[in-house]
Amino acid sequence: METKRLGTTEQDIAVAAELLRQGEVVGFPTETVYGLGANAWDAAAVDKIFAAKGRPADNPLIVHIAHKSDVEKLARTVPLGAKLCMDRFWPGPLTLVLPCVDSVPRNVTAGLDTVGIRMPDHVTALQLIDAAGAPLAAPSANRSGRPSPTLADHVLEDLNGRIAGIVDGGAAGVGVESTVLDFSGEVPMILRPGGVTREMLVELLGEVLVDPVLQSGVGTPKSPGVKYTHYAPKGEMWLVEGPRDQAEIAERVAKARQAGYRVGVLTTAERAELFTADVVIACGRRDDLSTVASGLYDAIRQFDHAGADLIYSEVFPETGVGLAVMNRLRKAASHRVIYA
C-alpha cells in the first residue's frame, strides 16, 4: 500500500475523509502529537490501527470528536465534573474517561466498559473529523513502543506503506499526549499526565487522584501509554538524578566512550555546553518545561538517527507539565534510574 502524503487544503482533507469512510486508517495532526485515525464505529477499520502499529489488543484507544455534543453519542453518563472540564479545557489536550454506550466497538475500549473521549485543539483535526462524518478512534501514529510522532516525517518513518494516508499539518505544539482523566470512579483520577496539568485540574475540581499504575506499570490499563514500554529509543536509556547528576553523567559518558560505545546525553539549553559526548541534544529549556515537552519525542528520535548505544538523561521537577515529561522519560528508560 502506498501511503498518500496530503496537505491541509480543503481538497486534501476531502481525500483523507474519503479514505476514512472507506474503512482505511489515516495519520493526522493534533495539538499534542500525530494521531492514527479510523472510524470509531467501524470495528474492522479500528482493527487496521492495531495491525499498522503492532499494538497490543488490550490497550484502549481514545475517540476524537469535533463537537462537544458528540460526547452524548459515546457516553452513557457525563458527570458534572466532566462537563466542567469540557467547558474549561475543550478543545484541548484533555481526554475524559466515561462509561460508554454499548454501540462503541469493543476493540476501541479494549473490552472495558469505559471510553476515552477528547476534542483536539487543532483546526485540521476538527475539519477532518467533520468531513469524515464520524468520530475517529486514534492512538499516536507510530509503531508500538516507538516515540510518538510530532512531525509527519516521524509518521512516515514508522508507518510508510502500512497506512493509507498522512495529513501533514506541520509540527505538533504540546509535544506530549493528552492528559487522561477518569470519571468512572467517585473521585476523578489522572491515568496519564499531559498538557492539562494536575494543578489546573485541582483548581477546577478540587480533589484529583493520580493513578498508582503510572509508577508501577502493573494493572489493566484504562488509558494508552500505561502498561507497555513506550517512547523508547533504540539505545539503552538511563535517567540520572541527584545533586551530583552533572558529574555522574560526565563520568559515565567518559567510561562508556572508552569502552567503545556511542553515547548520547539528553539535557537542556542551559546545560548543553557542560557535557562532552558523541551526541548532546538540548531538549528545550529547563526554565520552561513546556519547551522540553514539545521537543522530547523528536530528541529521542535524533538519538536513534545518530546511532547512540547509550543515552544518559537529566531529570525534571514533577510539577506542571514536568509530571508528563517525567512519565514519558521513565517509560523511555524502562524505569532505569541512577541516583547521583
Rounded Cα distance, 124 and 30, in Å: 8
Q: Has 55 been labeled as part of a binding site?
A: yes
Q: Has 95 been labeled as part of a binding site?
A: no
Q: Has 69 been labeled as part of a binding site?
A: no
Strands 165-167 and 136-137, sheet pairing = unpaired
The per-residue pLDDT string of the chain (340 residues; one tens digit each, 9 = 90 and over) reads 789 999 999 999 999 999 999 999 999 999 999 999 999 999 999 999 999 999 888 889 999 999 999 999 999 999 999 999 999 999 999 999 999 999 999 999 999 999 999 999 999 999 999 999 999 999 999 998 889 999 999 999 999 999 999 999 999 988 899 999 999 999 999 999 999 999 999 999 999 999 887 765 555 555 655 555 567 899 999 999 999 999 999 999 999 999 999 999 999 999 999 999 999 999 999 999 999 999 999 999 999 999 999 999 999 999 999 999 999 999 899 999 999 9
User: So what's the pLDDT on residue 222?
Assistant: 57
Q: Has 178 been labeled as part of a binding site?
A: yes
Within 103-224, residue ranges assigned H as helices are 106-109, 123-132, 152-159, 198-205, 213-216
Q: Has 64 been labeled as part of a binding site?
A: yes
Rounded Cα distance, 108 and 41, in Å: 9
* SS3 assignment, position 182: strand
Strands 189-192 and 179-182, sheet pairing = antiparallel
Q: Has 140 been labeled as part of a binding site?
A: yes
Q: Has 330 been labeled as part of a binding site?
A: no
What is the CB-side half-sphere exposure of residue 160 using CA atoms within 13 A? 6
Q: Has 267 been labeled as part of a binding site?
A: no
Rounded Cα distance, 107 and 145, in Å: 19
What domains are defined for the chain? 4-216 (3.90.870.10), 236-339 (3.40.50.11030)
- The end-to-end CA distance of the chain, in Å, is 49
- Segment holding 312, helix H or strand E: strand 310-314
Q: Has 148 been labeled as part of a binding site?
A: yes
Angle of helix 152-159 versus helix 289-305 axis, rounded to 10: 40
Q: Across the beta sheet with 263-267, what order do the strands follow?
A: 279-282, 263-267, 310-314, 236-241, 337-339
All three cell numbers of 54? 503492532
Rounded Cα distance, 231 and 282, in Å: 18
Rounded Cα distance, 187 and 284, in Å: 34
User: So what's the pLDDT on residue 177?
Assistant: 92
In DSSP terms, 51 is beta-bridged to none
* SS3 assignment, position 116: strand
For the chain, the helix, strand and coil percentages under 3-state DSSP, each to the nearest 5: 35, 20, 45
Q: Has 114 been labeled as part of a binding site?
A: yes
Rounded Cα distance, 98 and 159, in Å: 30
Q: Has 301 been labeled as part of a binding site?
A: no
All three cell numbers of 285? 529549556
Q: What is the pTM of this model?
A: 0.92
Rounded Cα distance, 13 and 6, in Å: 8
Q: Has 3 been labeled as part of a binding site?
A: no
User: So what's the pLDDT on residue 303?
Assistant: 97
Residue 204 class from Cβ within 10 Å (0-12 exposed, 13-18 middle, 19+ buried)? middle
